[in-house]
Chain A
Amino acid sequence: MLGGFGLCGIPENLIAALVRRRITGLHTISNNMGVDGFGMGLMLEAGMIASHIGSYVGENRRLEQMVLKGELNLTLIPQGTLAERVRAGGAGIPAFYVPTGLGTVVAEGKETREIGGRTYVLETALRADVALVKAWKGDRLGNLVYRKTARNFNPVMATAAAMTIAEVEELVEPGQLDPDQIVTPGIYVKRIVVGENYRKPIESRFIKEQMAGGAA
């Protein structure tokens, strides 16, 4: 399970470490799949990913080709359902009903139920062996705070894995983060590392550069 939305708030250093170790056969859960040449796109290009659950992969041409050729098992689900399935996974809720996707392929084969005159689809919780999340600051107890829209899926994913590893830009001593501002309480985080050399590409600009380079 990897936090981030597009290339915003992704655990850049943890992804780089995974790519260095060439761990293969990974089943990944993340909203997106990076882009060609950055973020989870690097894992994809290194042949590390066996299956993926996400909501949008439109920025990754290589992935599209792999899926069309049947080389990658991709499951696309609604973004809110993804977030809530992860939340449920971390909160001890095995399943829940949503109105999302009723009458579409995402509801196929799923139990439906009418409640109060509207029909809902039963969705099940998602958990992972490992969650890799990115925060702005963290302390040695694993308390995390995030910055602006780099929060996205990180806090919820931190709750839903057996081993949550947080990558932070700044590691501080316990007591230095305002307890009122902590978004992820340390109970969820098992390991914390300080990242370095953040690239943080802005995706729309990144794509523009690629296109200017003639790759588009």
Chain B
Amino acid sequence: MNAKERIARRIAREVKDGFYVNLGIGLPTMIASYLPAGLDVVFQSENGMLGVGPPPAEAEADPDLINAGKQPVTELPGCSYFGSDESFAMIRGGHMDMSVLGAMQVDEAGNLANWTIPGKMVKGMGGAMDLVAGARRVIVAMEHQTKEGESRILKLCSLPLTGTGVVHDIVTELAWIRVTPEGLLLTEIAEGISPDEVQARTEAALSFAPNLVTMSVL
């Protein structure tokens, strides 16, 4: 199981029955594949759909039916379509139980940076700023370090921010870290690694929860 799959599987276990959930592009989209059976969860796609279903067979792909990652998807029974203004009214209006996004950087105050690198990368924030401002719970799903081995969980984000004080939880292949008013709290840890090792690979200061448990990705 690679790092991304571990992260997606762990977050899938956090999705509760009856939730309305928006999954960001990339890793977060994988979460839908690992949901425990029997859960009644409605996925929203910010381009204007509730009740997003799994990808279609290649031959059945409909160009008028895509998710926010511009990938073809399918309809689940009870799905609905709406315009972008309505889509973001439900996002901004606090109707999303959970929003899972990728990140380039997160910091001790729950600040998030995931949309641009000045002078290098022009992408845009898309719906990320609206999602973090409006969702009831914001989970960042990302690999713990960059490909170069640098920490993505910092004392203070250096990239332009997507939102300030918006992140509730950070989930990586190594740990579940909760953002609290007192700073970052390590609550779960991957099997075979010590809290000190997680700290060594994290720039931000972590405190260790007294009831720290092993992260289950079943």
Contacts and interface: CB of A to CB of B under 8 A. Distances in A.
Interface of A: 5-9, 31, 54-59, 63-64, 67-68, 74, 76-84, 86-87, 98-106, 136, 146-156, 183, 200-205
Given A80-B127, A203-B70, 10 more contacts: A55-B124, A67-B122, A76-B124, A76-B125, A84-B92, A87-B85, A100-B134, A101-B129, A104-B161, A149-B49
A98 B163 CA distance: 13
B83 interface: yes
A202 B72 contact: yes
A204 B70 contact: yes
Nearest to B91: A80
A63 B88 contact: no
A105 B66 contact: no
A39 B84 CA distance: 19
Main secondary structure of the interface of B (DSSP, over half): loop
A102 B85 CA distance: 20
Contact of A104 (B63, B81, B91, B162): B162
B46 interface: yes
Interface of B: 45-49, 61-72, 75, 81-85, 87-89, 91-92, 111, 115-116, 119-130, 133-134, 160-165
A209 B153 CA distance: 35
B162 A68 contact: no
Contacts, number: 174
Nearest 9 pairs between A and B by C-beta? A80-B88, A80-B130, A103-B164, A200-B63, A58-B123, A203-B70, A56-B124, A78-B129, A56-B126
Given A100-B130, A204-B71, A83 B84 contact: yes
A78 B125 contact: yes
Contact of B47 (A8, A57, A99, A156): A8
A56 B125 contact: yes
30 contacts: A5-B47, A5-B48, A8-B47, A55-B126, A56-B124, A56-B125, A57-B124, A58-B126, A76-B122, A76-B125, A78-B128, A78-B129, A78-B130, A79-B46, A79-B125, A80-B129, A81-B129, A84-B88, A98-B133, A102-B133, A104-B129, A104-B161, A148-B62, A148-B81, A149-B66, A200-B64, A202-B63, A202-B71, A204-B69, A204-B70
A58 B116 CA distance: 10
Contacts of B83: 83, 151-156, 183
Contacts of B130: 78-81, 100
Contact of B122 (A7, A63, A80): A63
Contacts of A200: 63-64
A99 B64 CA distance: 31
B119 A80 contact: no
B84 A31 contact: yes
Nearest to A204: B71
